Amino acid sequence: MAITLVNPSELPRIDVYRQVSIATGSKLVFVAGQVAWDAEGVTVGEGDLAAQVEQCYLNIAAALAAAGGSFDDVAKLTVHVVDWTPDKMPRLLEGISRAAAKLGAAPTPPATLLGVAALDVPEHLVEIEATAVLD
């Protein structure tokens, strides 16, 4: 495996992600920001942050599989949420948990969460991009 996830003892331990990812592979995979579209381009979970987060993770998994990888290969995630406020965290975590259950893996690479004013279309509440490293 090309990615090792670490939580240094000098940094806070966060349950949903690790603070550091160490990449030793040689093939970089950059996954474009994924929104809650299904394969036909129809928005999944309109108005439902958890459903949209789940779909974003499933879309990332599909993109990674096309490159020969999985969430085990992800070195970094960046999450953009429209009109972010901390009270949305439970819905975000619910979406991640639902996706993890479907994928059979707990995606916990380092992550950055950013609040944004808007995304590509008004019905999209979240966009997630990934960087992966494969052997």
Question: 97 vs 23, 100, 133, CA distance in Å?
Answer: 25, 5, 23
84-100 pLDDT, tens digit per residue, is: 999 999 999 999 999 99
Confidence check: pLDDT of 15 > 90: no
Q: Residue 29: its pLDDT value, please?
A: 97
Say if pTM beats, i.e. exceeds, 0.85: yes
Q: Give every CB contact of residue 125 below 8 A, 6+ residues apart in sequence.
A: 36, 47, 48, 49, 52, 81, 82, 119
Average pLDDT over residues 20-39: 96
User: And the tokens for 74?
Assistant: 């992800």
67-126 pLDDT, tens digit per residue, is: 999 999 999 999 999 999 999 999 999 999 999 999 998 878 999 999 999 999 999 999
Judge whether 80 and 45 are in contact, CB under 8 Å: no
